[in-house]
Structure 1
């Protein structure tokens, strides 16, 4: 089990916290305090100077910026020459990154105790890192740099154990102030500065600057420790605000540390001369589905997450269970590899023998309930199951309202089938369970897709159009998942609440596309159904763990924004059932890009459903004109794969393509971030003007082995991100217009008998060409055979600088587009330009993609 930090002379003590607070108190006169921030970070290459009542800002040049980072790292390396005091000296150097003028608003001893309590909830040690260029990083470190008398390992390094003055300062900030946004911004700046120094430390060559391998490793270990703790505390600050005020997109972005990207912590190009650092990953218990785990690992803030305690708490509930993903030929069941959801039987290939399970209290002999069709058809709006039923064995319906309990569940877990008489219906014991729970919350009805969405095409489409309003207006959303329903909650300790939160993140319910939508819309009051039909509030558990539990578990929920509670009383909720349509991205609604980045790893079993869900996540409003109505009708009608007359006109017989085209037509006039397009999502819409647009938010299933690839294929799968901070373009009826960094080139057509070369051959046989020109030639041969002109595109960030792809990439990820006359361009694919050859010169230019 991972332990939290204990007070000790080697970590921190409450008395030292008290000393730090006393030493950083603002002694200025009250008239001067308005110009002195309580916590200010001096970024590398920049500093502020206070002169009387004036603040002087000093900016550094690129050269002095590099020299300051080098000087700072060298001071820390020099500290390692003083073995007994190396930690104290490095702490003193590190403390100069921040300037503090604390103004306590309550007794200092109370503040010091609260800050100490917060530090005690951090992991005792950060995640271990290794330097791959050194065969055994720790074996070369002299004994004096470990805790005396302890085994020589990562956990006993003094630079890893010690809690620095700056980390104590960060812990003091939130217990002295309620200004969460301004505090988070400043702590984020400190994390950026640490990340920049860590990046520089990777460039220090062994044997230079009077350093050797083990010294530079200790420097990296020190910086990595400070960064992990700083970002974790900042995530706690951001989560505190969002639990109080509801999810906020802008504030959430403060948890991202742009400099500490994942590729800093993986083996780098051996030609670059930089160090190669890797994280030592913790291993989950066999019952964890690795695809569910990948949902968390691919989040934009995943590098700051520590999975060790999450795995440990999950193991306390399910550690004794066997894997559950794939059945092998010999009958055994194994974990999936986590490489694609299409290789996990929990998503694809699962055989469901019976869709109608029984409650544990039932002997399995109760009768099945079906719909009262007249009651359903005569009910206006969204239909919900009334709690007040007739005795004829048929379900009676009413209009869903603020008194409805909405149920979100996993279809394969057996919560009933479709309601028609000829279908499997709903077992009476399940109906009675939900009636009892709904009565407990003073509800008058419940909604669940199995009894409330019939198979009939028209009725199904109507029901789907109402899903947003059902969950947004419901009194509560009840989450039903097989694993969560097995947890006994009679004694609710903080440890058990941490285990339940870990299970929510890793359970089947959290990896489905429909349940993502339902959770997002119903997030104001999510209740988890546990053993013996007891329910627990997700909001209450999050608040309890955030206040008293492990910080590293609570902050995981910043990666699950659909589960963060909404504001308790959204404006207009009681006046208009479509109140949620007025939500903005600032208070929790999703943009197209954000919705796709959440959906791309989640599964929807019906072809085309992911497009429908994408549409609903973006708050598409009810149609107001005839043309809007026809497009929205296409969005939902075509999602039914049983409607052959509707899908017959779709190219290649794929109903998803018409769905995708209809979705994008509804977005004409909207802005779309260029960075969002940098993914491997398929572009197979055939109509001109829309060929650039992803036809689905998720990556396509892998081709079966042995099939020929049609057209150029990128060997890696590049996940879509929301494109935050990149230049926005406009969606028009004739294409997508946006500014990119571009490199345009004319394509030299080879003779007809010219044999197409492999990438390796073209690079090695074209010695007479510049290496970059040879690579352009290979790109032309591979991607642009039908074009006269080619271009490489890179998104631009908000400052006009190249926007780096946020996921794993060997180098610079570029879009490849082609054209016949340079007036309009067609999307051809992605190319990962590694660092062995310089990227060609890029110029900003507006491009129209069709």
Structure 2
């Protein structure tokens, strides 16, 4: 994965071998739907992928589905056609392209906008990286034109690099079609029209890698490498444009948690034995600055929409500003952490804060500390905000009720922006003056900040926390303070695209983005966020996002999907038309839990409080602004996870969400439920290494129902005897029918018995079912290994059982299956009740 010879600032140029305006226009006219008398009034789907999974019987209008073996055979047959297109050398890119184009049928409806669509498509293509990421097994030599002789398939000895391969620089017709889709739909999601095609490309890439692995001939390996390079570069370019369209839909309509399915693309083998997750893990950090926190980058890299993504320009932008600095994760060594666990990073744990109250840039550092006027604070009935009064003679902060003209300040506590308002803590006068000046510049009449507005007193603290959503949701503006952001020079009023890209990159990776409280604050206040940069200058996040999306590098713009708490929300006036809390900008329990699984909170129990503030039962319909405000901000704050989960009764919960190392409750009926969203350290039974199995939202898995007895769902299951003397005898005596013993996976089954089933007669292995309801398991893109849940019971009747004889399965933990052995034969089981 070398970067030699690659200009990290270069975008895909218009040229004869890449794309031209004329070529894009020809493709658009060729694929434009022309209505005739037979099709009058009908509008075919604009982009259809013949996914090789089924064939379409036009006469009966029925889909004929193939088995997995038949699907794989069709993929192999098509890959053979691509292989045959590689030789002879002359014209091999065109033949590959013609073959690959067959899997897509387009019927664009342009409404006479050909010129504008063509221009927009060229603009999108022109903002992709010039040279896609290399394959991890790049060969050492190629023929001069990267193809082979048709007769002998022998190779020329001339060595060339990745960027010299014509299959790498060539832009396939399907890539141009994807750009046209992005230009036509722009701020509308392209949904399954594109993801089916991208997943099919991934299947072809995996199958080609299998062919490459099975051959011993160097000539055949070379030919298969060229096929894979063609598919890999096409997959990269199309997946980037696909995620780019999703960002556009969020920018137009506001973030909607229900769009999570669109972030799930199929995993694949990019090289023999190398998954896309493994490739990302190995090479995504190439070029990373030592100053960049390893844990922060690892969380960004492992996000479902970032697996396999090109991070070269991302690292280049960050290094422009911070590349010369030493790391500060491990202060004694001035290095960054490795990214394997937040416990090993002093940005989150073990950092010694010598002075909680920092000073402003131009302060002499001898200014006095301000404390609260407690009488003023207690006299305010609603959410308190600090008045914009600078009266050093009294040395006190006075308060007023937070309103729609309040400035909300979100900051990292460890960066020293003031202590609690009581005596003994305080808030430096220069900071008070800073936020007065910022508030006034943004047209605000007061400011809210947790340091001066949340006292230590338990009752007052609970009151303030319950109104955090209210403060940030209705505030005129939210200002983000982070030490790294304040180092970015934005002196020029007309900021360049490059500087705006740097602001976004820094925001994605800075300390502020990794904390639980700041995540909540930004998510509720993201309607109008400003970044505080050098010399107390503020930069509108919305303007920055819009500029980068429309003019910047697409490989950076699509990373906005990893920070949904910074994507703009719907306008508040639109809430009255919404009856679903998630459509109004709140999160599902699973999505909120997945984001909090790696974000530390400042106090024990705060993580559950934040979890409850991120979710919402429902939005009440009302057209009255005063009533709307009162109903919107009635937040129920839960400090205990038991009460939080009881609130979820009779609601659905995605099964894959449970596959994490989060601690569990010890209450019957809720032993499956995380007692905290924060994932604990988990020890791998194979090598003894520890890590955190972070929760995913599980939206690709089938959902279960939370009942008064436990979590009820369908799973793919395998029954096995537990680890207690006489278990098999008891099972036989009771007539309990178990799955036949699978001798292919005895090592894994033995480890499960030893680790999870001690003292239990029966055990069960659970794998989440795909949300489409087939027998396929749900995918887990961000984890290389297969994760299964293990449950156990000592009380069981014969199978099948009546409802009143249902088995109560006790949660025992998550197991990482060693893929050296295959999984046992799993069967679909309904009504699995976890207690």
Aligned to 1:358: 359
**Could you tell me whether the CA contact under 8 Å between 2:19 and 2:171 is conserved in 1?**
yes
Conservation of the 8 A alpha-carbon contact between 2:661 and 2:693: yes
Tell me whether 1:602 sits opposite 2:599 in the alignment.
yes
How has the CA–CA distance of structure 1 residues 55 and 24 changed in structure 2, closer, same or farther, with 3 Å as cutoff? farther
- Counterparts of residues 361-372 of structure 1 (less than 5 Å): 361-372=362-373
Residues in 2 aligned to 1:367 and 1:775: alpha-carbon distance in whole angstroms: 64
TM-superposed CA distance for 1:837, in Å, is 3.3
Deviation at 1:572, TM superposition (A): 4.7
Choose which of 826, 832, 835 in structure 2 pairs with 1:842. 826
Equivalence for 1:530? 533
Indicate how the Cα distance of structure 1 residues 687 and 35 shifts in structure 2: closer, same or farther if over 3 A, else same.
closer
Q: Which TM-score applies when normalising by structure 2?
A: 0.86
Q: Which runs of 5+ in 2 are unaligned?
A: 1-6, 149-155, 620-634, 728-740, 797-806
SS at match of 2:48: strand
Deviations 1:678-723 (A, max 9, x none): 111122x3332222221211222579xxxxx99x999654221111
Counterpart Cα distance in 2 of 1:745 and 1:99: 48
Residues 714, 831 of structure 1: 8 Å contact kept:
no
The correspondence of residues 485-564 of structure 1 with structure 2, limited to 5 A, is 485-491=486-492, 492-564=495-567
Shift of the 849–506 alpha-carbon distance from structure 1 to 2, 3 Å rule, reads same
- Contact 2:435/2:447 (<8 A) preserved: yes
Residue-by-residue CA offset, 1:258-303 (whole Å, 9 max, x unaligned): x225xx3587399xxx999776432311110011101211212221
How far off its partner does 1:15 sit?
1.9
Q: Does 1:185 align with 2:187?
A: no
* Change in 2 beyond 3 A, CA 1:619/1:157: same
Q: Is the 8 A contact 1:745 1:790 kept in 2?
A: yes
Deviations 1:614-651 (A, max 9, x none): 121123799xxxxxxxxx99944xxxxxxxxxxxxxxx
Structure 1 stretch displaced more, 516-525 or 292-301: 292-301
Corresponding residue number in structure 1 for 2:764: 791
Please give the residue correspondences for 1:378-397 in structure 2 after superposition, counting only pairs within 5 Å: 378-388=379-389, 392-397=394-399
What's the CA shift for 1:610? Answer: 1.3
- Cα offset, 1:777, TM superposition: 4.0
Question: Is 1:324 paired with 2:324?
Answer: no
1:101/1:661 Cα in 2 relative to 1: closer, same or farther (>3 Å)? Answer: closer
Alignment of 1:46-125 (within 5 A): 46-48=54-56, 59-60=65-66, 62-106=68-112, 108-125=114-131
* 1:151 CA drift (Å): 6.8
- Partner in structure 1 of residue 346 of structure 2: 345
| Pair 715,356 (structure 1): closer, same or farther in 2 beyond 3 Å | closer
Give the Cα separation in 2 of the matches to 1:114 and 1:542.
Answer: 18
> 5+ residue gaps in structure 1?
132-136, 574-578, 623-631, 637-658, 704-708, 753-767
* Aligned residue in 2 for 1:194: 201
3-state DSSP of counterpart to 2:447 = strand
Cα distance in 2 for partners of 1:172, 1:49 equals: 28
2:153 aligns to what? none
Q: 1:395 to 1:509 in 2, by over 3 A?
A: same
Mean Cα displacement is larger for which, 390-399 or 228-237?
390-399
Q: Which residue of 1 aligns with 2:738?
A: none
Q: For residues 634 and 42 of structure 1, what CA distance do their matches in structure 2 show?
A: 49
Work out which of the residue numbers 10, 22, 27 in structure 1 matches 2:29.
22
Kindly indicate whether the alpha-carbon contact (under 8 Å) linking 1:26 and 1:103 is maintained by their aligned counterparts in 2.
yes
Alpha-carbon distance change, 563 to 145 in structure 1, aligned in 2, over 3 angstroms: same
Determine which of 768, 773, 786 is the counterpart of 1:812. 786
Aligned match of 2:647: 666
Map Cα deviations across residues 440-496 of structure 1 (whole Å, 9 max, x no partner). Answer: 222211100000000111111111111111111111111011111121112210111
Matched, 1:678 2:656: no
Separation (CA, whole Å) in 1 of partners of 2:431 and 2:261? 42
Aligned to 2:184: 176
User: Structure 2 vs 1, CA of residues 65 and 666 (structure 1 numbering), >3 Å: closer, same or farther?
Assistant: closer
Q: How far apart, CA to CA, are the structure 1 residues paired with 2:49 and 2:145?
A: 32
Q: Assess, with a 3 A threshold, how the Cα gap between structure 1 residues 318 and 146 changes in structure 2: closer, same or farther.
A: farther
How far off is 1:506 after superposition?
Answer: 0.9
Residues 1:808 and 1:392: Cα distance change in structure 2 (over 3 Å): closer
1:444-459 correspondence runs (5 A): 444-459=445-460
Find the counterpart in structure 1 of residue 261 from structure 2. 253
**Alpha-carbon offset, residue 568 of structure 1:** 2.7
Which residue in 2 is equivalent to 1:268? 273
Separation of aligned partners in 1, 2:147 and 2:560: 35
- 8 Å contact kept, 1:743–1:842: yes
How far apart are 1:811 and its partner, in Å? 4.8
Query: Contact 2:89 / 2:147 at 8 angstroms: preserved in 1?
Result: no
3-state DSSP of counterpart to 1:194: helix
**Residues 833 and 322 of structure 1: CA distance in aligned 2, closer, same or farther (over 3 Å):** closer
1:310 maps to what in 2?
314
Contact 2:277 2:782 (8 Å CA) reproduced: no
Distance 2:308 2:346 in 1: 30
Cα displacement (A) at 1:194: 0.7
Question: Can you list the C-alpha shifts for 1:19-62, whole angstroms capped at 9, x where unaligned?
Answer: 222332334426626243332221113355878xx977565554
Q: 2:210 is paired with a residue of what secondary structure?
A: coil
Structure 2 residue 403 is matched with structure 1 residue 398: no
Q: Measure, in 2, the Cα distance between the counterparts of 1:266 and 1:83.
A: 23
**RMSD across aligned positions (CA):** 3.2
Instruction: Indicate if the aligned counterparts of 1:42 and 1:48 stay in contact, CA closer than 8 A.
Output: no
Counterpart for residue 461 of structure 1: 462
Paired residue for 1:227? 235
- What is the alpha-carbon distance in structure 2 between the residues aligned to residue 66 and residue 800 of structure 1? 17
- Give the equivalent residue in structure 1 for 2:413: 411
Match of 1:741 in 2: 716
**In 2, are the aligned partners of 1:742 and 1:845 still within 8 Å (CA)?**
no
- Which of these residues, 792, 808, 811, is aligned with residue 824 of structure 1? 808
* Larger CA deviation: 1-10 vs 725-734: 725-734
Q: Deviations over 1:544-566 (max 9, x none)?
A: 11111111111000111111100
Classify the secondary structure of the residue corresponding to 2:574: coil
Distance 1:449 1:21, change over 3 A: same
Q: In 2 relative to 1, CA 374–819 (structure 1 residues): closer, same or farther, beyond 3 Å? A: same
Match of residue 479 from structure 1: 480
1:612 deviates by 1.4
Distance 1:441 1:146, change over 3 A: farther
8 Å CA contact retained: 1:671, 1:730 = yes
Q: Contact 1:593 / 1:722 at 8 angstroms: preserved in 2? A: yes
Distance 1:275 1:252, change over 3 A: closer
Alpha carbons of structure 1 residues 177 and 727: separation in structure 2 relative to 1, 3 Å: closer
Contact 1:597 1:697 in 2 (8 A): yes
Task: Tell me how far apart the structure 2 counterparts of residues 809 and 242 of structure 1 sit (CA, whole Å).
Answer: 26
Q: Quick one: structure 1 residues 457 and 620, their matched pair in 2 at CA, closer, same or farther if it must change by over 3 Å? A: farther
Aligned-pair distance for 1:404?
0.9
Tell me, in whole angstroms, the C-alpha distance in 2 between the residues paired with 1:774 and 1:553.
Answer: 44
Give the whole-Å Cα distance in 1 for the aligned partners of 2:759 and 2:65. 50
CA contact (8 A) 1:327 1:333 kept: yes
Aligned to 2:706, which of 731, 735, 738? 731
Change (3 A) 1:475 1:31: farther
Residue matched to 2:434: 433
CA contact (8 A) 1:805 1:813 kept: no
* Counterparts of 2:239 and 2:420, CA distance in 1: 47
Tell me, yes or no, if the aligned pair for 1:485 and 1:529 is still in contact at 8 Å: yes
Structure 2: how far apart are the matches of 1:794 and 1:99?
Answer: 36
- Asked if 1 retains the 8 angstrom alpha-carbon contact of 2:341 and 2:692, the reply is no
